[in-house]
Amino acid sequence: MLFGRAKKNPIKIADKGIIEWKYAVCGYCSTGCSIEVGLNAEGRPVSSRGVADADVNRGKLCLKGIFEHELFTSAGRGLKPLMRTHWHQDWQPARWDTALDTVHDEIRRIQSQYGPDSFAIISTGQMLTEEFYTLGKLTRGLIGTNNYDGNTTLCMSSAVSGYKRSFGSDGPPGCYEDFEHTDCLIAWGSNLPEQHPIIYWRMKEAQEQRGFTLIVVDPRVTMLAQNAHIHLAITPGTDVVLMNAMMHVIFKENLHDQRYIDANTHGIEALRAEVEKYDPVTASKICGIDEDTIRVVARTFAKSKAAMQIWTMGINQSTHGSDGVVGINNLALITGNIGKPGGTSLSITGQCNAMGTREWSSCSGLPNYRYLENEQHRAEMAQFWNVDPAFFPKKRGMFQTDIYQAMEAGQIKGLWLIATNPMSSLPNTARIRKAMEKLEFCCVQDCYQDTESAQYAHVYLPAGTWAEKDGVMTNTERRINRITPITPPPGEAKPDLWIFNRMAERFNKEGKVTFPEKAGDIFLEMGRLSKGRLADISGMDHALIEKNRGIQWPYTADQASLDKSRGEAPPKGGTRLYTVDGTFSYADGRAKLIPLPFIDNNEVPDEKFPVWLNTGRLIEHWHGRTKTGKVANNNKFSPIPFIEINPALAEELGIQRGGYVRMVSRRGDAVAMAQPTQRVPKNMVFLPFHFHDCANRLTLGLLDPHSRQPAYKQSAIRIEKIDDQMAAAKLSMEMRKF
């Protein structure tokens, strides 16, 4: 008898009347799960399921993917273009033509009055790759502002910068299959089970089969740390010191791979000289990991036949983010752990198509990892797009994080925001608010009209979301996967591609530049541009991608015809990069070993603000909750902001479980509910960043010198007990407004 019941009720699965399943790839994180959305007889999306024969997720989805079909009918969707003269007025509905003409006229007015770079464009990691490419063509080829960037600066630019500095190009060299071959995995600042649940499942399955050593470096006892063989609770912001100390041990004990270093790298002497200064005794005083553990971890990593490293925001969102990535690459290069099964340095990407924007948006340069600084690249693209090469700037403009400072200083007067929400996502909200208020003109293009940033817009353009559109996205392991339009955008909302093409018509009156209408044709154009380059996609097309549930780049036209003639399916694509000696992207084919002196420039706890503020994600929510805050089954599991606080600190401050506390930093204050837990040490609290008017009221967000990514994870605060708990509860509820 089960729990005293003689009869167990059978589980009933409601029949939702599904008559058709349509294919897509999940639009939240960068794992890249293949998903099918079920439509009922009225054509309404009513269910989501994982695709069983997709290599990435093998039928599985996480909590966000399972409810993704609910996005199509979620509240707050924009149904009509809206306009107003001043941002504090009420919105008035507008015709598409009027709204687009206004945006065009305002861009040109501001550019002619203050110069071409006084108008900024900031996009996202959320759109489809063909949309990124088209926006890049419009911005670089016709509008001509150099202050064009994506919100990926907030999550991935340290990884991009680190890869470029070490290997000569962006592009993660490994893949998920590496979990099945590795003997040791170090996860730096990455909490897979909550942030990338399906990658975690792939990793865990491989680990259960092969029992490789799992080492987790994280100041907090995350869910992944609880599963680790060794957990290194590092002092925030000191990863580079630990990396240098590990390399010190590896060289001292002769555990490095001299053959690999000789054949593939430059700079070994300078690196050795720098890490010589980081003996484990000295390093342990800075990074908080004892000297013996540093030695054990260095030996375990270097002696493994194949060892891999992954990382996420714990490394990227730091003033040493780019250096942290270079340090990871240094460790991989000196032990020969690049380009071999189980040996890699794999950045776990953030947004669903952060990779697509890195490859094709032209934000930091020109398409397919071409550089504005390279004359030949400028000439190639000018010829291909039929524009004057002199129209291109000769070096990249401001990063997103610098654009807001230029707005504050009055250098940038106009802004077009596309599927991004800086009022929620950027550090130090009060400063961003001031910057937004100073704009002469702001256009917000988003699928939701009620975002925090739309408060400051003069024109709102309603866009389609996720699988209301046609195109591809690239995941963490360079796998390009297809989204088919499952349902049209609601009301008068239009796919972003349609909006860019209509805008292009206004800047392209003579018709010199071609803008194809169909995503499939744009993809083929991109394929032609990719021939012979690192990210060669010339062997793919939309149909082949969908048939194979995604293909990893590079996949060349030659590979495609060979696979066809052999009758092979599915095509493997480029499982790994840099598999052969001397194939790195620098002109001589060698990677760079770069010394990393440590400069401690973070804000650190002191007498007035004695507690570290650590921020991060929850499994239920996606970034600013613009989407998941409106999906009931995501929101109800995590409805309000809370902090993890050590029970000893809570007791010292007289704070009860479930009571509200006030956090105060040098920038502002915020209120959250207290959840005492041993997951954080006594001098640290963890605060999810998803909620409006909360974490980013506190964060300082110092910028990394190479990547300009903010250090969201290292700020100092103090915690105060709140006497009026009712008022605090009310305030906490208000944070759910957006």
Q: 469 vs 667, which CB is nearer to ligand SF4?
A: 469
Given 23, 28, 278, 598, the residue binding ligand SF4 (CB under 6 A)? 28
- What's the rounded Cα separation, in Å, for the pair 455 and 643? 28
Least distance CB 45 / ligand SF4 (angstroms): 16
DSSP string, 282-321: HHHHHH---HHHHHHHHHHHHHSSSEEEEE-HHHHSSTTH
Q: 64 vs 358, which CB is nearer to ligand SF4?
A: 64
Q: What angle is formed at CA 302 by the lines to CA 581 and CA 162, rounded to 5 degrees? A: 60
Residue 64 found at the interface with ligand SF4 (CB under 6 A): yes
Q: 28 vs 163, which CB is nearer to ligand SF4?
A: 28
Least distance CB 466 / ligand SF4 (angstroms): 11
**Closest listed residue to residue 317, CA positions, set 157, 151, 169, 197:** 157
Task: Please enumerate in sequence order all residues whose Cβ is within 8 A of that of 114, keeping only pairs 6 or more positions apart, or say none.
Answer: 413
Q: 65 vs 314, which CB is nearer to ligand SF4?
A: 65
Q: 538 vs 638, which CB is nearer to ligand SF4?
A: 638
Residue 642 found at the interface with ligand SF4 (CB under 6 A): no
Q: 349 vs 368, which CB is nearer to ligand SF4?
A: 349
| Residue 25 parent element (H or E) | strand 18-25
Residue 37 found at the interface with ligand SF4 (CB under 6 A): no
- What's the rounded Cα separation, in Å, for the pair 532 and 509? 33
95 and 71 Cβ atoms separated by less than 8 Å: no
- What's the rounded Cα separation, in Å, for the pair 562 and 571? 10
Q: 32 vs 573, which CB is nearer to ligand SF4?
A: 32
Give 389's DSSP letter.
G
Q: 346 vs 439, which CB is nearer to ligand SF4?
A: 346
Residue 26 found at the interface with ligand SF4 (CB under 6 A): yes
Residue 481 found at the interface with ligand SF4 (CB under 6 A): no
326 and 595 Cβ atoms separated by less than 8 Å: no
Least distance CB 479 / ligand SF4 (angstroms): 11
Least distance CB 669 / ligand SF4 (angstroms): 32
Q: 65 vs 641, which CB is nearer to ligand SF4?
A: 65
DSSP string, 86-130: STTSPPEE--HHHHHHHHHHHHHHHHHHH-GGGEEEEE-SSS-HH
Given 31, 222, 312, 347, the residue binding ligand SF4 (CB under 6 A)? 31
Q: What angle is formed at CA 716 by the lines to CA 711 and CA 717, rounded to 5 degrees? A: 130
Given 24, 29, 103, 444, the residue binding ligand SF4 (CB under 6 A)? 29
**3-state DSSP assignment of residue 468:** helix
Residue 62 found at the interface with ligand SF4 (CB under 6 A): yes
Residue 280 found at the interface with ligand SF4 (CB under 6 A): no
**Window of 89-97, 115-123, 192-200, 606-614 that interacts with ligand SF4 by CB under 6 A:** 192-200
Q: 31 vs 559, which CB is nearer to ligand SF4?
A: 31
Query: What track of x and - describes contact with ligand SF4 for positions 287 through 326 (by CB under 6 A)?
Result: ----------------------------------------
Residue 65 found at the interface with ligand SF4 (CB under 6 A): yes
Q: How far apart are the first and last CA of the chain?
A: 48
Least distance CB 196 / ligand SF4 (angstroms): 6
Least distance CB 25 / ligand SF4 (angstroms): 7
**Window of 26-34, 321-329, 446-454, 523-531 that interacts with ligand SF4 by CB under 6 A:** 26-34
Phi, psi of 676 (to 5 degrees): -65, 135
26 and 65 Cβ atoms separated by less than 8 Å: yes
CB atoms within 10 A of CB 128: 29
Phi, psi of 568 (to 5 degrees): -85, 140
Residue with the CB atom nearest ligand SF4 in the bound state: 65
Task: Please enumerate in sequence order all residues whose Cβ is within 8 A of that of 219, keeping only pairs 6 or more positions apart, or say none.
Answer: 233, 234, 235, 236, 612, 614, 680, 681, 684
Residue 197 found at the interface with ligand SF4 (CB under 6 A): yes
Reading the block at residue 614, the tokens are: 């650590």
Q: Binders of ligand SF4: how many residues, by CB under 6 A?
A: 14
**Window of 31-39, 521-529, 633-641, 686-694 that interacts with ligand SF4 by CB under 6 A:** 31-39
- What's the rounded Cα separation, in Å, for the pair 400 and 416? 12
Q: 198 vs 442, which CB is nearer to ligand SF4?
A: 198
Least distance CB 198 / ligand SF4 (angstroms): 4
Task: Return the residue matching tokens 């300082």.
Answer: 700
Least distance CB 549 / ligand SF4 (angstroms): 13
- What's the rounded Cα separation, in Å, for the pair 305 and 121? 47
Residue 61 found at the interface with ligand SF4 (CB under 6 A): yes
Phi, psi of 8 (to 5 degrees): -95, 130
Q: 165 vs 479, which CB is nearer to ligand SF4?
A: 479
- The residue ranges that bind ligand SF4 (CB under 6 A) are 26, 28-29, 31-33, 57, 61-62, 64-65, 196-198
